[in-house]
Amino acid sequence: MLKKVLVGNAYTAIDHHQIKFLPQALIEIDSSGVIDRVLEPTAPDYQAAYQAAQQAHLLEKVPADQVIFPGFVDLHVHAPQWPQAGLALDKPLAAWLNDYTFPLEAKYQDLDFARQVYHELVHELLAQGTTTVLFFGTIHPEANLVLGEESLHQGLRTLIGRVAMDNPDQTPAYYRDSSSQAAIVATETFIHQLNDLGKDNPLSPIPVITPRFVPSCTDATLAGLGRLARKYDLPVQSHVSESNWEHQYAIDRFGIHDAAVLDHFGLLTSRTVLAHATQLTPEDQALLRQRKTAIAHCPISNAYFGNGVLPVNDLLAAKNRVGLGTDISGGYSPSLYDNLRHAVALSQVRNDGISRDDEGIANSRISMVASFYLATVGGAEALNLPVGRIQAGKIADLQVVKDRFKRPTETAQERFERILYQTHRSEIMQVYTQGDQVYQA
């Protein structure tokens, strides 16, 4: 039983070197929101399927000046930081945290404030073509539930973490778990509450074990969270070696690297996504690879706080799992388009160096195809979700994007690149999750 059939020019990533162009593809979406078949005009069944869809009034034609992409997967968003996106980016990390971020996050004990911000944010992310988001919330279980409700209500696929942070040395008294036990109990309570939300809805938010980062947690909390991840078989998210400071902090406190600390506490799993990772050593990278732990590459944020450009090419070549994240508000932009462009441009700077005396690091360039792969397939695989591709068996999370310009002599590959370079929010015409339209320009 079909729910909807889209027909139009579509692009989907094969791997990080190749895209597949599907001209006038017929995308059949079944009643559960899963792609049943993708037919190209050369397929024997195409005409019959087209006509059947038309007769059943299921056909939605995407105009020739628009293209269909998979919806984007954003692996790193601090939902509560949305009101300060674009602020304080010239501040050092400590000032950014203590003068801006912690005071703002503490405000989410006010549920009206939470409702207002999260309503706006969820809408904004959908409007940017993002269909799946891995969220950091705050320490407040209720505000995080509001985020879950807003996501479910507006049709955004989400994974949401209640942030744990109890180390008095690294967190302010007004915004901290009062004890390790309190952090674990609140996390476990939140898991149950979120699991009760929208139970049979395929977009029901998934709870995520979320130690803010190693510095903000005591050993007992890190250990307790590792146990919860195992007990409930849940995804895990945190930051890893984001900056020189964070990388050194773990060495000073534990005598081992940040990634190894997370591993020690059972937090490096095949369901873990770690943001930034710019300061990982090759050994750290190998550890993540071995654990099948994914990296959320946040190119804009890393420019401000990462003290380095992630070696995306090396990681992909070594088969580390990598996706893309906006890192609101360490990154100012809610758009993965902005981030995939920065991923390419910054990889060029890594390749070519920062000054006339600097030769850069050879083979660091990534292509726009690779960046698109990160924003779709990379993110989907990091979360072990069947999204990110326009392909039979994948969930129909899609975006339809307008090409404002006519360039009749371009190849399909060129058009793909140009659209990715030129798309902003105003070009995103429609967004679908689970086969349902959830945003229209």
Binding site residues, a copy of itself, CB under 8 A: 83, 85-90, 120, 244, 247, 278-281, 300, 303-304, 306-309, 311, 332-333, 341-342, 344-346, 348-350, 352-356, 358, 360-361, 364-365, 367-368, 405, 407, 410, 414, 417-422, 424-426
> Would you say 227 or 425 has its CB closer to a copy of itself?
425
Shorter beta-carbon distance to a copy of itself: residue 172 or 308: 308
Q: Which residues pair with 226 in a beta bridge?
A: none
Q: How far is the CB of 292 from a copy of itself (least distance, A)?
A: 23
Choice between 175 and 332, CB closer to a copy of itself: 332
Instruction: State in angstroms the smallest separation of the CB of 112 from a copy of itself.
Output: 14
Q: How far is CA 191 from CA 142, 217, 332, 334, in A?
A: 12, 19, 29, 26
Question: Closest approach of Cβ 251 to a copy of itself, in Å?
Answer: 13
Distance CA 334, CA 342 (A): 13
d(CA 42, CA 310): 41
CB of 85 to a copy of itself, least distance (A): 7
Q: Alpha helix locations (H) across 1-134?
A: 46-55, 93-95, 102-106, 111-127
Cα 62–chain centre separation: 26
- To a copy of itself, the closest distance from the beta carbon of 332 in angstroms equals 4
> Closest distance between a copy of itself and the C-beta of residue 84, in Å?
8
How far apart CA 206 and CA 198 sit, in angstroms, is: 11
Minimum Å gap between C-beta 280 and a copy of itself is 8
Helix axes 180-196, 219-232, angle to 10 degrees: 30
Nearer to a copy of itself, 58 or 93 (CB): 93
* CA–CA separation, 135 and 210 (whole Å): 10
Nearer to a copy of itself, 265 or 305 (CB): 305
Burial of 404 (0-12, 13-18, 19+ CB in 10 A): exposed
Give the separation between CA 371 and CA 323, rounded to whole angstroms: 9
Q: Is the Cβ of residue 170 or residue 413 nearer to a copy of itself in the bound state? A: 413
Phi and psi, residue 259, nearest 5° = -65, -40
Query: 202 or 282, CB closer to a copy of itself?
Result: 282
